Amino acid sequence: MRSSRKPLLALAFVGTLIALPALAQQVASSYPPACDASKVSKGDVDRAHTVFLSGKQFLEESNYEKAIGYFKDAYSIDCSIHAILPIIATAYERKGDKGEAVHALEEYQRRAPGAPDHEVIERRIRNLKDQIARDQTPASTAPVAPTVATPTASPTASAEPAAVATVTPAAPSASAAESPPPSAGGQSVAPWVVAGLGGVALVAGVVLYAVGAGDVSTAASECPLRTNCPTSTASQGNNGRSLESVGVVVGSVGVAAVALGLVWHFVEKPPAAPPSAGMLVTPVVAPGYGGLALGGAF
């Protein structure tokens, strides 16, 4: 049994890597396709309402992760209740994820274009986007600070720079020859390739496990006693278990690859260049260059 499962796991791993862009797009949407209320059974309507009430309880307790998970489950059960999308957006906004809040509201606008609160939702989207833009502006201006030239940091020591200038002509070629090696000592890109592939495998493992867990949960809800279950339900549960196992294996491989890539990167990192004779100027220049030092679910 084990020997027959190994090829299956290998094929699943390769297939997952190939289908990762499609899976990523599906996960990015995170909402089921819209459907008509006439196609939803009375049992699904009642079950979706129960799950929604659980999510509302978690929202009132400020447990936003749980609330979002339950709201999305309710929408998956009854995909005709588009009005749950603004509630999901509220949970995301309270969590601090304004981008996902905008995503949920825009999805609501597309799925319910004739809703009476269309203008209210449109203003809410604009306000959230303005907040996102304001939050991003400090990050865009921060990198400008290191570009300020620091040689002007020595106006107070007018006599000492002159003394230093008389020393540097004695060995200009030595300082010029010693300065390039620190910048030339770059690292190979191989560790990041390994870590990147590991990240891909980790995401794929999480996706497979989530899909499998969903199938197992659905099968368990349809046949809680797990005896005399319909063939389709039993098959769904068994397939879900297999996907969970494959997801654990693929995710473990991904974690190991990420760890290997990071360790490789730090081990390969070249040591800092030792101070040379030209560094006698450091008592004057050190204060100015201090700012540029890098030493330092459900």
Number of independent structural domains in the chain: 2
In a shared domain, residues 112 and 31: yes
Among residues 21, 5, 20, 23, the alpha carbon closest in space to that of 201 is found at: 20
Q: Please check whether residue 174 lies inside any domain of the structure.
A: no
Radius of gyration of the chain (CA): 29
pLDDT digits (tens, 9 = 90+) for 117-153: 999 999 999 999 999 999 987 655 555 555 544 544 4
Q: Residue 73 has which token pair?
A: 């489950």
Q: Which pLDDT band, with edges at 50, 70 and 90, does 13 fall under? A: low
The reply to whether 129 and 196 lie within a common domain is no
CATH of the domain at 52: 1.25.40.10
| Residue 227: both structure tokens together | 């005896």
Among the three residues 97, 116, 133, which one is the final residue of a domain in this structure? 133
185-229 tens-digit pLDDT: 456 788 778 788 888 888 888 888 988 888 888 878 878 777 778
For residue 154, being part of any structural domain is answered with: no
Which candidate, 254, 253, 214, 259, places its Cα nearest to that of 237? 214
Domain assignment present for 35: yes
Asked if residue 129 and residue 31 are part of one domain, the reply reads: yes
Query: Is 59 part of a structural domain of the chain?
Result: yes
Same domain, 64 and 129: yes
Residue 210 structural domain: 188-270
Q: Is residue 183 part of a domain?
A: no
Q: Measure CA 215 to chain center.
A: 24
Q: How far apart are CA 12 and CA 121, in angstroms?
A: 42
- Please give the full DSSP string across 12-63, using - where no structure is assigned: HHHHHHHTHHHHHHHHHH-SPPP--GGGS-HHHHHHHHHHHHHHHHHHHTT-
Q: 218 to each of 68, 83, 240, 246, how far by Cα in Å?
A: 19, 24, 9, 19
291: Cα separation from own chain's centroid: 30
Domain contains 287: no
Asked if residue 224 is part of any domain, the answer here is yes
Asked if 127 and 217 sit in the same domain, the reply is no
Shared domain for 99 and 194, answered yes or no, is no
163 domain residue, yes or no: no
Q: Do 128 and 34 belong together in one domain?
A: yes
For the entire predicted model, the pTM comes to 0.40
Higher pLDDT: 56 or 268? It is: 56
